[in-house]
Amino acid sequence: MIKAAILGHGTVGSGVYEVFEMNAEKIARTVGEPVEVKYVLDLRDFSHLPYGHKFVNDFSVIENDPEVSVVCEVMGGVRAAYDFTKRCLLAGKSVCTSNKELVASKGDELLRIAEAHNVNYLFEASVGGGIPIIRPMIQCLAANEFNQICGILNGTTNYILTQMIKNGVAFEDALGQAQVNGYAEADPTADIEGHDACRKICILSDLAFGDKFDPEAVSCEGISRITLRDVECADRLGCVIKLIGRAVRCADGTAYAFVAPHLVPKESPLAAVEDVFNAIMVEGNATGDVMFYGKGAGKLATASAVCADMLDCIAHREHRRRISWGDGSQKLLRPLDTFVSPWYVRYQGPRAALEAALPCESVREVGGELAASVSALSTADLKARIAKLEGHVISNMRML
């Protein structure tokens, strides 16, 4: 019998235990023998649960038990999660996680430790919850060079924008609805300011391009400044607003990576992705565009992905998965100032001045203001041209 441990008994941790109990027979058939969760690490008191006797609050119990061969880390954050993950790997135990912050910031180091000790560090659930994306990239699409990754990577912001677009709900009210429905935390900063999506696009960039993309260095813009007027302007231009994470490979092997709200044409598949759903488009030089779609979070969906990684570790005890990327020394991240894209500009002032400053393709009047779609310009060029309009530009966003 295989023995496992779970670090953390929050939403995902309790879901992992539930999946192992619910699907015990299927899991045993999959790996060839039963799998038992021997320990659950949490400082809180869960003695009332039927499996309350399995709880421990001393990590060293798990670390020093030779029976435990695979560990699930779903604590969140970096400090304790990093320490415990590293110690598990050094002790010869494979670790699986949904902790996107840890993978994005320390994944390169943890993968090297895993390789040195012939164990696995797997993290399918760190991007897209239950949506398969990591494994397809490293297996099914492994023969491709990746040209671009582009996606809706955060369900909370997508829910808020859907409420604004479909129901005319103002941002603050839509955020409140998301919190009431359990889609947003009491402190929603990581979601609405784009940090969650940034960690995810960094992980996907690491895998796609082979070197570390530091979340601290990647440009990150959220949705907190988007108004219903922007939503209306986007509609008049045939678009909807989505928070998009993008990674774009250049001919010399460097890449752009960033998170920002975009105007997405209504005919794009991404425009139809609503509520808490995520969608990730991956462009390979052999496959072309491939799209992965589904709920990007949720207790059992995320737990399912973690459990699948744990079963993969068990199945590959003698031959670890080859996953790695560099430490960032290749410096692949390009400055966003040179990235060229079309733009949306919302402006209040003389139309002649707007068209003189910017190469406008389409201009619409919306409530006494002008909404313009602008031909492709670099980020730096757009900023310089906007400066000439002397503060009359109310907002601007990229167009996909």
**Which residues belong to the active site?**
200
Residues 13, 300: Cα–Cα separation, whole Å: 10
Exposed, middle or buried, 268 (CB in 10 Å: 0-12/13-18/19+)?
middle
DSSP 132: -
Instruction: Give me the sign of the Cα torsion angle 249, 204, 202, 317.
Output: negative
Closest CA to 42 of 58, 66, 53, 21: 58
Please state, in angstroms and rounded to a whole number, the distance separating the CA atoms of residues 348 and 391: 9
In one-letter notation, the amino acid at residue 81 is A
> Helices 155-167 and 171-180, interaxial angle, to 10°?
130
Residue 47 class from Cβ within 10 Å (0-12 exposed, 13-18 middle, 19+ buried)? exposed
Residue 201, SS3 per DSSP: helix
Residue with tokens 């496992």: 4
Q: Which helix (H) or strand (E) holds 6?
A: strand 2-7
Cβ(353)–Cβ(389) below 8 Å:
yes
From the list 161, 160, 198, 154, the residue with the least C-alpha distance to 180 is 160
Residue that has been written with the tokens 């021997």 in this structure: 38
CA dist., res. 127 & res. 125, Å (int): 5
- Joined tokens for residue 19: 């999946």
Distance CA 285, CA 207 (A): 16
d(CA 383, CA 338): 11
Look-up of token digits 């430490």: 327
